[in-house]
Structure formats: structure tokens, C-alpha cells
Amino acid sequence: MLDNAFDLGSIIIADIVLSGDNALIIGMVAASLAPELRRKAIVYGMVAAALLRIVFAIIATKLLGIPGLLLVGAILLFWVCWRLFLEIRENLDEDAAYRLETAEDPTEGYTGKPRRTVGQALVSITIADVSMSIDNVLAVAAIADGNERMLIFGLGLAIVLMAFAATMIMKLLARYPWISWLGLLVLTYVAAEMFYRGIYDPRTGILAFASAMSGG
């Protein structure tokens, strides 16, 4: 019961702190469009991010069970932690909140004639969304550790937060930086646990795999 509560809390924290990248990119691209195109870009960008998370979640649950790939996932998650550390130091959350507000205000940002289509903007957002969706899904899948309900909850929460509360979350993180630091601590712990299991787990650890291959 206590383990489930900790995992649930970890997923919520991870979803919150990892929403910053998506919010920043979507806000930046949308703010560069003419006002009448911004809302479409934001909506389409959110939908693309949601679909990518679903696809990557399906892939991640299959791949993390293959011996050796849990260790690779841990290394990737350590990289996410390092990037998050740099983003917290650079006040990304405050920048993301400003960008989203700018994109949602028709009198701010670029206000001239359309220079590019929503489709072109969506390509930029989707390319950026790919790496960010992998980050989010990898963290949630690692915490869920095969618990399908937990994975679905984490995935659904990430999508809901992006769709309905992105600006509010960015303001919250900018005002209370300790939430981001807590999220970094949680993700570092998850990455370290993944790393350990990636080596020693009897099912997916590389030592067990090496032993099986050598006939030991």
C-alpha cells in the first residue's frame, strides 16, 4: 500500500516537472504565428504530444522487459535528470509560463500577417515533442514497473495536464522552485533504481543475461 502511494506520488511529480519542455516549445512556436493561427497550433501540438506518449508507452512497456534495455533506459533517464537540473537553474518554468501567456494573448508575440502555416508550425512542435514524450514515458514506465493501471494513470495525467493546465503548472513551478527540485530528486532515485535493476535484476539484468548466455 505504501509502495503504491509512493509510486503514485512519484508519477504525479514526474508528470508535473516534465511538462515544462512541452509547454515551452509549444508556446514559443505558437507565439511566432499570427494571432488567428495560435490556438490551432497549441491544440494540434497538444494532440501530437498526447499521441506520441501513447505510442511510446506501448513501445516502452515491451522493450524494458528485454535484458539490457532497462540499463539503457536508466542511462537515458540520468540524461533527463541532468537536463532537468540545467533547466531548473535557467528558470525554464518561468520562461515557459511567459511563452504560453504570450501565445494565448492575441496582442502579444508576433502580430503581423501569417508567415508560415499551422502545418509548418506543427512539424516543428512534433519534432521537439518526440524527445520530450520519450522522457516522460520512460520515467512513468520505470516508476510503474509493469503495473498497467499505474502506467495508464501516469499517461492520462500527463495528457490532461498538458491540455488543460500547462500555463498554471508553469506558473506554479516558477513560483515554487522546490517542486522542481523535488521532481529532480524523485527522477534521480528512479534512474538509480533502474540502473541497479538493469544490472542485477534476475529477469532483465545484464548479469543474469550474461550468466544465461554462458550457460551458468
Tens of pLDDT, residue by residue over 126-165, are 777 777 777 888 888 888 877 778 888 888 888 777 766 6
Cα–Cα distance, 49 to 43 (Å, whole number): 10
Euclidean distance between the first and the last CA atom of the chain, given in angstroms as a whole number: 37
Domain of 45 in residue numbering reads as 2-214
**Model confidence at 183: pLDDT above 70:** yes
Measured over all CA atoms, what is the biggest interatomic distance in the chain, rounded to whole angstroms? 70
**Is 203 a residue whose pLDDT tops 60?**
yes
pTM of the entire structure? Answer: 0.74
pLDDT band at 104 (very low <50, low <70, confident <90, very high): low
The number of angstroms, rounded, from the C-alpha of 127 to the middle of its chain's C-alpha atoms is: 14
Domain count of the chain?
1
> Distance (Å, rounded) from C-alpha 14 to C-alpha 159?
13
pLDDT band at residue 103 under the 50/70/90 scheme: low
Amino acid at 139: A
Q: For 109-128, what is the mean pLDDT?
A: 67
